[in-house]
């Protein structure tokens, strides 16, 4: 695989810096043991934030992306905590677990925090998102709710096109989606699901977790962040099972992230290999390994599903 060259499409137009970062994946000052100890006490957002802070220092090529992700993740963490408290209050009265939470209509009250999310992006985002945040701020509550509702109902009415609006809705609603998913009673059986068993969106990345001598593959939802087991030699885009048509690429600089391509549908997904780096946080490491996306797209593969930052 060739060296890292340009920033990708959409919001990230700067051509700076990808050539800069070529440092190892796990060489930082804290020992692995102290990091594992710390992680046991952190919630999922805190772990992602800590990992993004570590990688900011290690991967200069992803610095701009990770710094913006950190701002978003900190907002999401606070919102997740707030929502958690309100879930506790409402379920204490209702005492039931929902089996189809993603089919329920979105509650207008959720928009209360959208304004502050827009301000966060307006102050910290790349130019195109700042501008879009300002336009949305001018729109007022009704238009905000409309936007969130279109995204929420996307699996029935069709997704929003990739771009600023898709980013705002997905990033803002993600803590809510993760919260109701973790409290739901959804169960599935039968063949491996190609879409998230909870919210029915496409997977955004894969994970290999240590299992015996190898790795167990799972997929992670691009929206509610659910993780579900998935057969190892199958394309999550089209179901291709012929190993000769499912090439896997890795780069010397990022050994723990695989590009898994499919020569039938020409899609690819990145998989974070925890058998190679136990310190990785899949969502963050997927985002940080942006040079692999550039490489895959140059080879003519299209990403199965963009990540939160539309990369």
Which parts of 42-61 interact with Zn ion (CB under 5 A)? Answer: none
* 171 Cβ contact partners less than 8 Å away, ≥ 6 residues apart: 72, 76, 117, 308
> Smallest distance from the beta carbon of 224 to Zn ion, in angstroms?
3
Going by DSSP bridges, is the β-strand pair 203-211/227-229 parallel, antiparallel, or unpaired? unpaired
> Smallest distance from the beta carbon of 157 to Zn ion, in angstroms?
17
Q: Which of 78, 137, 153, 264 lies at the binding interface for Zn ion (CB under 5 A)?
A: 264
Number of residues that bind Zn ion (CB under 5 A): 14
Q: Is residue 178 near Zn ion by the rule CB under 5 A?
A: no
Nearest of 186, 204, 114, 106 to residue 153 by alpha carbon: 106
Show the tokens assigned to 38.
């710390």
Largest pairwise CA distance in the chain: 58
- Facing residues of 270 across strands? 259
Q: Which of 77, 265, 275, 294 lies at the binding interface for Zn ion (CB under 5 A)?
A: 265
> Smallest distance from the beta carbon of 222 to Zn ion, in angstroms?
7
Residue showing tokens 């729109």: 139
> Smallest distance from the beta carbon of 188 to Zn ion, in angstroms?
12
Q: Which is nearer to Zn ion, 75 or 223 (CB)?
A: 223
Q: Which is nearer to Zn ion, 63 or 101 (CB)?
A: 101
* 106 Cβ contact partners less than 8 Å away, ≥ 6 residues apart: 145, 148, 149, 152, 153
Which parts of 190-249 interact with Zn ion (CB under 5 A)? Answer: 196, 198-199, 221, 223-224, 226, 235, 237-238, 240
The CA distance from 36 to 34, in Å, is 5
> Smallest distance from the beta carbon of 244 to Zn ion, in angstroms?
13
Q: Which is nearer to Zn ion, 21 or 204 (CB)?
A: 204
| Cβ atoms 246, 235 nearer than 8 A | yes
- The total of other beta-carbon atoms located within 10 Å of residue 219's CB is 25
Residue showing tokens 């809705």: 169
Q: Is residue 304 near Zn ion by the rule CB under 5 A?
A: no
Q: Which is nearer to Zn ion, 184 or 310 (CB)?
A: 184
Residue 66 C-alpha from the chain's centroid: 12
Show the tokens assigned to 309.
């930052």
Q: Which is nearer to Zn ion, 224 or 279 (CB)?
A: 224
Helical (H) or strand (E) element with 78: helix 63-94
> Smallest distance from the beta carbon of 241 to Zn ion, in angstroms?
10
> Smallest distance from the beta carbon of 239 to Zn ion, in angstroms?
7
Tell me which residues touch Zn ion (CB under 5 A).
Answer: 196, 198-199, 221, 223-224, 226, 235, 237-238, 240, 262, 264-265
């Amino acid at each position: 695989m060739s060296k890292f060259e340009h920033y990708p499409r959409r919001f990230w137009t700067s051509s700076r810096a990808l050539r800069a970062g070529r440092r190892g994946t796990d060489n930082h000052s804290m020992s692995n043991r102290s990091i594992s100890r710390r992680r046991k006490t952190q919630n999922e957002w805190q772990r992602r934030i800590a990992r993004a802070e570590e990688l900011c220092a290690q991967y200069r090529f992803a610095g701009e992306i990770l710094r913006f992700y950190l701002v978003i993740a900190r907002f999401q963490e606070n919102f997740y905590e707030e929502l958690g408290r309100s879930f506790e209050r409402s379920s204490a009265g209702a005492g039931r677990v929902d089996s189809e939470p993603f089919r329920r209509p979105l509650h207008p009250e959720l928009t209360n925090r959208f304004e502050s999310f827009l301000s966060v992006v307006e102050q910290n985002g790349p130019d195109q998102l700042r501008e879009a945040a300002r336009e949305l701020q001018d729109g007022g509550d009704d238009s905000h709710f409309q936007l969130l509702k279109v995204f929420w109902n996307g699996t029935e009415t069709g997704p929003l096109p990739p771009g600023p609006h898709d980013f705002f809705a997905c990033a803002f609603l993600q803590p809510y989606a993760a919260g109701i998913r973790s409290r739901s009673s959804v169960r599935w059986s039968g063949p491996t699901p190609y879409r998230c068993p909870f919210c029915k969106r496409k997977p955004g990345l894969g994970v290999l977790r240590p299992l015996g001598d190898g790795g167990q593959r799972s997929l992670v939802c691009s929206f509610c962040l659910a993780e579900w087991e998935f057969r190892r030699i199958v394309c999550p885009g089209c179901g291709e099972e012929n190993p000769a048509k499912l090439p896997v690429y890795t780069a010397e600089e990022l050994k723990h992230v695989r590009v898994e391509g499919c020569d039938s549908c020409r899609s690819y997904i990145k998989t974070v290999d925890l058998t190679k780096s136990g310190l990785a946080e899949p969502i963050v490491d997927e985002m940080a390994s942006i040079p692999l996306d550039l490489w895959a797209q140059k080879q003519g593969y299209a990403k199965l599903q963009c990540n939160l930052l539309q990369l």
